[in-house]
Amino acid sequence: MIFGGEVWGGQLMLTTMVDNFPGFPEGIMGPDLMEKFKQQVVRFGAEFVAKNVQKVDFSQRPFKVWVEDQQYSAKSVLISTGAYTLWLGVEGEKELIGRGVSSCAPCDAPFFRDKTAAVVGGGDSAMEEAWVLSKYATKVTIIHRRDAFRASEAMQKKVLENPKIEVLWNTEVVKVLGQQKVTGLKLLNNQTKKESEFSVDGVFVAIGHKPSSDIFKGQIDMDEKGFIKIADYLTKTNVDGVFVAGDVADPRYKQAVTAAGKGAAAALDILKYLDEN
């Protein structure tokens, strides 16, 4: 049984064209790719339930999973709840996701060839987004609310020495401008309190991701950010019989193809576990 959640499909449901998943030489829309995934597993007998899991109990066997008012038992559980982008929460942002607002330069940077782009953030992921975008865009502007980055020195050096990248310090985005697509940003200098409009073709939000792991707190080992720790191989957790795959355990790659690969590894590990038990 697959408990996909009421809002299933993860971050790919917010993505437009996916060009870096094998087997689709012309690219595929993110929601279409997820629908194909679902159809494939249902074809092999999996039951897909579009309901949210409220809580779990991994302290005894069989494991217990509560979905709305029903309780399910399982000999093995695979956690693949993903992670979600931390958005800015400003006016116009949500409406323009996939229309110039993005959170993944490796996914969307080619759409900004010969255009301008902004990156919001100050950590390593923001530096990486800006670096990738600079290979396509004519100009990349990093917008950071402080007067110094928190990224590693190596990443900062890489970005600050790039002639196509500039930085707006002590600056916050207060509104994303545009109707059908992004046309600019309304900015606030938090030192002078002066607002201004900034013309740009797209904005990449890189202020972090939060793994969707809250319901597993106290049940499974996690790091300080909530990413589930891998205890052995690629997929085993600290609880024997509970496995993990995808972005909920991946603070580094966060790509559909790596998540799918780990899902395949988890399936093999689960089969072996069930055979042995």
Catalytic residues: 104, 107-108
CA distance 132 to 105: 6
Two structure tokens written together for 274: 């069930």
CB atoms within 10 A of CB 35: 13
**Residue whose token pair is 């085993």:** 236
CA distance 83 to 269: 22
- Of the candidates 20, 13, 16, 10, the residue with the CA atom closest to the CA atom of residue 29: 16
**Residue whose token pair is 């629908």:** 35
Tell me the angle at which helices 124-134 and 153-160 cross, rounded to the nearest 10 degrees. Answer: 30
CA distance 105 to 203: 10
